[in-house]
Structure 1
Amino acid sequence: MSRRFQIVAVALAVGFTLSACGSEKEPAAANAGTAVTESPKGTKGTKGNSMNMQEAAERADGMLDAVLKKIDPEVQWAHGPTTKGSCDVTRRRTVMTIVSADRRQRFLDQVEQFWRTSDYRIKAKNDDAVFPAVYAVTKDGFGISVSVRARGQAFFEADTPCVKESKVADSASEPNGPDYDGVYPLPGPNVRSDYWSAEAS
């Protein structure tokens, strides 16, 4: 009887050990899946892109240049910080023109209309009265957004897909006002526009 009891005890011990190993691995697998799902760029599948980070950053600059040139009347903007991920780049522009609450929706409508005519897909919108935003994506995996944040200031961001690693130079696009080089955070909107800064009469 004692011999049989020992065999059963050993079998149970091995079973508990294997079970413990499995329970340790499951959270890691779950976390790994969550990390991919929650990637803010959603571009993990584009790692085969032939562009490098510098080329992708230049394409993002071109997208930002294009939308800002289409805003009528013109708004003044400055560069925001550039950030690099493991395989992607984000370029930023900050609008220095005061866009009043009464003109805010017209501003976003102009941006959204331009992106639609440029064959971008509108991925999401936030219709909040105070902090609205529009998010779009191109067919080749670049993301671009405009959002209104504190003090009613509008911000543009362009995110590249996952591309080949390389060095990234500062943007060559010239701001149409002070460049605030080395200033962070940038000041709030401080440029008045007869149109964009106007309140409803």
Structure 2
Amino acid sequence: MLLVAALTACQGRKEQEEPAMDMQQAGQRAEALLDGTMEAIHPSVKWVYGTPSETPCSTGLNRPTGTTTVFRSRNILTLVSEQRRGELLEQVRRYWEQQGARDFSVFSDKDVPRIRATTSDGFSVVLQVGDIGNVFVRAGAGCVADSAMTYPAETPGTLGGPKKEELTPREHSDFWSSGEVRRSSTS
């Protein structure tokens, strides 16, 4: 009886360790999460692709596991005033919640607030305000199977993409850049 229990436990652990998707699939899923997030923001904001991140996973002894953590991002170029940051975070939180995200973590710092959650399929999603007022959104999954990857054409640091990532917000919005506390009637 103990042998059966031990074998079952080992098989369960082995199944958990095997990635459910590869890097290409994880990249595509992250892109879909980010596209949906950008579409959920009203009024809409101007954005660009951020630099992707791939970090090889390793054992505790720095041995490769054949898996990689994959993140994609979007940088919002619309100026979001300090007074509008809460509205932006709330719109994104509601959208992620509607998509089945859970385990929300909110860092309510006045200057660099952020919200983080986990989707039902295990992706991390983060919206954060940087120290220069820049806003970025990231989505990704940890330790997916190694594979070749493709990227959207305008992705920084990739073939055909810009050499440098754009971080500084510069586009004015009557709503998002406003210092007014009340909500715009056009949103």
> Does the pair score TM above 0.5?
yes
Provide the residue aligned with 2:65 in structure 1.
none
2:111 pairs with 1:130: yes
Distance 1:180 1:113 in 2: 32
Between Structure 1 and Structure 2, which shows a larger proportion of strand residues? 2
Paired residue for 1:166, among 147, 152, 170? 147
CA, structure 1 residues 187+120, in 2 after alignment: closer, same or farther (shift >3 Å)? closer
Matches of 1:46 and 1:79, distance apart in 2: 32
1:55-99 deviations in Å (ceiling 9; x for gaps): 110000000000110100000111111111111211011000000
Consecutive unaligned residues of structure 2, counting only runs of 5 or more, are 1-14, 57-67, 182-187
Of Structure 1 and Structure 2, the greater helix share is in 1
Match of 2:171 among 183, 186, 191: 191
RMSD value over aligned CA atoms?
2.1
Unaligned runs of 5+ in 1: 1-44
Question: Which residue among 149, 154, 159 is the counterpart of 2:130?
Answer: 149
- Equivalent-residue separation in structure 2 for 1:159 and 1:47 (angstroms): 17
Counterparts of 1:63 and 1:130, CA distance in 2:
26
Q: Give the match's secondary structure for 2:125.
A: strand
How far, CA to CA, are the matches of 1:181 and 1:157 in structure 2? 19
Moved over 4 A (4+): none
Query: Offset of 1:125 from its aligned partner?
Result: 0.8
Structure 1 residues 46 and 82: CA distance shift in structure 2, 3 A: farther
Shift of 1:151: 2.1
Q: Residue 106 in 1 paired to residue 76 in 2?
A: no
Please report how far the alpha carbon of residue 192 of structure 1 lies from its aligned counterpart in structure 2 after TM superposition. 0.4
Percent of residue pairs identical = 30
Q: Measure, in 2, the Cα distance between the counterparts of 1:158 and 1:146.
A: 9
Structure ID, larger Rg: 1
TM-score for both structures, normalised by structure 2: 0.75
Distance in 2, Cα, partners of 1:135 & 1:154: 14
Partner of 1:22: none
Tell me how far apart the structure 1 counterparts of residues 21 and 161 of structure 2 sit (CA, whole Å). Answer: 30
- Partner residue, 1:60: 30
Structure 2 distance, partners of 1:163, 1:146, is 22
SS at match of 2:93: helix
